A and B are shown apart, each in its own frame.
Chain A
């Protein structure tokens, strides 16, 4: 069957009913047991709230578990007949019909362009390079990053003679952030292409996968978007490797489950996906939400909304879960992960405005709701735990002995404590069943060898479970704070990071960030211990993570001294790296020695743009020359130039440096003046900077010199 031909609505409905029935079957017994427990000891408003929270949280857990069950079943035999399968074809692709776009924002240019170089080479190897144009869409505001990007782009163009194929565009104003960056591309060049492959700065895709995505779009003309399921790679710290192990081991089962019921009404994750541009341009202009940021204003998490708009317009949105060769990276530390979550959370909370929007498909509404609940579940969980403590306090305060009434489920013949233990065991089963199913799936598919054998899989799995148990409550506290702050319209302040030269974590940052978590867990634990030592033991698994969050955060952020042994938590991509990952690693290794001198690092971009004849020329040639500066503007630029020359870059603010960097005339003048003025007229910083071009100094380092 051709999946993007109309799938009978009855079939979709049936699958969704099966999902709903599974969720109900998994959650309802637990909810009834909890309700009965509450009723046996006297019901009041607090217990009603407790039960409501428990029901919601258990249903969410059951939803995850149901997807794993369905995914596990679907992966038996030949798999889902309605899934999107790779197209076997050797036909040429439409020339120049696909734009590969990579929005970047102050990312490490070495990683960005090494990734692009790898993708380019991989595409070249497919023989379909002519079908693609590549765009680097920069919103970078850091002068160093900006200049590095330009020079690295020029190096790429030079190496592959690709001036007509690889383009770099930087916006002067980054209106509406990433969504605005992509929209700007769509408005300028979107009409010239049939498809757009969207990448993130840390994305990596093999040429075959990109070609396959285009073929899928060609084969299925009603598909508006095909999302791949990127695998996490290149994690070095224990935190990143924990993430990539979990996603690699459990991901396939979940993805199969998601695919089973979502079909062509799936979701968009913002990158590593292909978009059909005509319907995207016509239907995916993003609305402005009521109010202002952080809760309203322009939509930050554009992907979910764009998928919903495509589905609303009748286009298919697919998850190509089985398509390999799509990769991304994940943050290396708990704090960086939380920072990313802060952005995503704000974007997802904005979607609340769209839940009741007219015309959206019910599945799209569910995507939006689940996106909100992915973060809103944290404060609900916190509230549930607090309410549990409160209920205990209210009981202890009475000084009475608990005398439970008979259970409504007399047939079960359970004592009060046995019933509580059964409920606890059931909840744990819902939490751990997906992991067990993933392991069973691996066993049935004989996939353990790819992970390095069963010993590694099981040890990794135990370690991953321990990490999850410890770090999930810390993330709960982070998310709860972020939500509260977002609702209050406040930004979250982060401690400025001061990493060691070897990438080792910053103690100060960890202590200041997690001090609140530790204090809260300590106070809570003390209160629980005072109330009831048994309750304290029950609560301990939740409190352990926050209590130990400072050392945990530091230990999990520590990169290894030796990368050669990916053990434990080894993934197949570490044991046998895919070709693109190996190529990327070699490109990055080749650039490891190209590190700017430490004394100039803070302003190395400006230094190159001004002093280096080639980087200066590249930079100036990309600027629009403004011919009619007003007298005031001319005077201001003259003052800034003189200040920069006479006092060095530290005398200028970032804004002033950016102003100079954006003025072609100033850049030409600065290049000439700095080289031709006597040393006595230059700041000491410039005298030293010029000296690095001296014959006796090592060869200059720029992103242009690979």
Chain B
């Protein structure tokens, strides 16, 4: 193991933990953490914690352990930023990511996300106020049924049309009739 890394860090040559490191880094980058130093520090911290976690099932792949740790870290930060202690972690994750996106946290507070210091008040407030909705509360309105009397002739034509479409035999007969009329017309025209 390299002397530069703390003793609590996984073996440097372990491909599974290297994959975990790369995945965590990509996951954090997907959250638009752009500064290399922040990204690197956060990734290393998460990997170290995942490696040290004695409660984790040893059969779990390092990627899975590391991403769980990343998820826990992110959820803990959301709990603080949104002040939603005790909220269901799965929904909190979605709520937190939505709030981060709508608050434009990566753009406006690039250093705040996952920082050890408490989230800035303005960021917290903006995140808590961030929401999306498909529309205001519906005021359901029942449009009156249409009343356009189509007329007796139109109704009759409609019935004939429907019968022609529905009954294959009649449909074929009508088509044959039209075809015969067309052929007769052409025959007469060419006389």
Contact = CB atoms under 8 A, between A and B. Distances in A.
B140 interface: yes
A289 B26 CA distance: 56
Interface centre among A170, A290, A612, by most chain B C-beta atoms within 10 angstroms, is A290
A163 B161 contact: no
Contacts of B63: 676-679
Given A290-B158, A613-B30, A690-B23, A191 B151 contact: no
Interface stretch (B2-10, B114-122, B131-139): B131-139
B64 A678 contact: yes
A622 B189 CA distance: 65
Given A169-B134, A676-B68, A291 B144 contact: no
Interface residues of A, number: 74
Interface in B62-93: 62-64, 67-68, 71, 90, 93
A508 interface: no
Contacts of A358: 148-151
B154 A290 contact: yes
A158 B103 CA distance: 7
Contacts of A188: 135, 138-141
Contacts of B16: 678
Interface in A179-196: 183, 186-192
A597 interface: no
Nearest to B150: A357
Interface string B87-116: 000100111111011111000000000000
B31 to A, nearest CB: 5
Interface centre among A355, A359, A678, by most chain B C-beta atoms within 10 angstroms, is A678
B157 A691 contact: no
B21 to A, nearest CB: 11
Interface stretch (A278-286, A410-418, A450-458): A278-286
Contacts of B64: 676-678
Interface residues of B, number: 65
Nearest to B66: A676
A183 B146 CA distance: 13
A272 B157 CA distance: 36
Interface centre among B90, B96, B148, B161, by most chain A C-beta atoms within 10 angstroms, is B148
Contact of A189 (B26, B135, B151): B135
B165 interface: yes
B52 interface: no
B27 interface: yes
Contact of A694 (B22, B61, B62): B22
Contacts of B1: none
A79 interface: no
A695 B29 contact: yes
B157 A677 contact: no
Interface in A649-706: 668, 672, 675-679, 690-691, 693-695, 699-700, 704
Contacts of B141: 186-188, 190-191, 281
Contacts of B100: 614
A356 B154 contact: yes
B190 interface: yes
Given A135-B135, A291-B165, A357 B30 contact: no
B95 A621 contact: yes
Contacts of B138: 188-189
Contacts of B145: 285
B58 interface: no
Nearest to A356: B151
A629 interface: no
Given A158-B102, A291-B158, A695-B25, A618 B140 contact: no
B101 A618 contact: yes
Interface centre among A354, A358, A700, by most chain B C-beta atoms within 10 angstroms, is A358
Interface centre among A192, A616, A695, A700, by most chain B C-beta atoms within 10 angstroms, is A695
A394 B189 contact: yes
Given A614-B100, A679-B19, A167 B134 contact: yes
A515 to B, nearest CB: 24
B59 interface: no
Contacts of B62: 678
B53 interface: no
A375 interface: no
A446 B95 CA distance: 60
Interface centre among A190, A353, A699, by most chain B C-beta atoms within 10 angstroms, is A353
Given A158-B101, A188-B138, A359-B148, A290 B157 contact: yes
Nearest to A680: B61
A309 B132 contact: no
A357 B139 CA distance: 32
A612 B30 contact: yes
B132 A163 contact: yes
B148 A357 contact: yes
A285 B143 CA distance: 6
Contacts of B68: 676
B161 A167 contact: no
B13 interface: no
B29 A292 contact: no
B148 A613 contact: no
Interface string A265-284: 00000000000000001111
A253 interface: no
Contacts of B32: 614, 699-700
A495 B188 CA distance: 38
A695 B165 CA distance: 62
A51 to B, nearest CB: 16
B101 A614 contact: yes
A189 B22 contact: no
A620 interface: yes
Nearest to B60: A676
A572 B64 CA distance: 61
Contact of A167 (B71, B135, B146): B135
Contacts of A690: 23, 26
Contact of B139 (A191, A283, A397, A694): A191
Interface in B173-188: none
B154 to A, nearest CB: 5
B23 A675 contact: yes
B133 A163 contact: yes
A169 B93 CA distance: 23
Contact of A186 (B22, B136, B143, B153): B143
Nearest to B33: A695
Q: What are the 4 closest A-B residue pairs judged by CB atoms, nearest first?
A: A290-B158, A617-B97, A676-B67, A287-B146
24 contacts: A154-B101, A167-B134, A188-B139, A189-B136, A282-B143, A286-B146, A287-B146, A289-B150, A290-B154, A290-B155, A296-B158, A353-B150, A358-B148, A358-B151, A394-B189, A614-B100, A622-B134, A677-B64, A678-B61, A678-B62, A693-B30, A694-B26, A694-B29, A700-B32
Interface of B: 16, 19, 22-23, 25-27, 29-32, 34, 36, 39, 61-64, 67-68, 71, 90, 93-98, 100-104, 130-136, 138-151, 153-155, 157-159, 161-162, 165, 189-190
Given A187-B142, A189-B135, A285-B144, 4 more contacts: A167-B133, A191-B140, A282-B143, A693-B26
Interface of A: 46, 133, 135, 153-154, 157-158, 163-164, 167-170, 183, 186-192, 281-292, 295-296, 309, 353-360, 390, 393-394, 397, 489, 611-614, 616-618, 620-622, 668, 672, 675-679, 690-691, 693-695, 699-700, 704
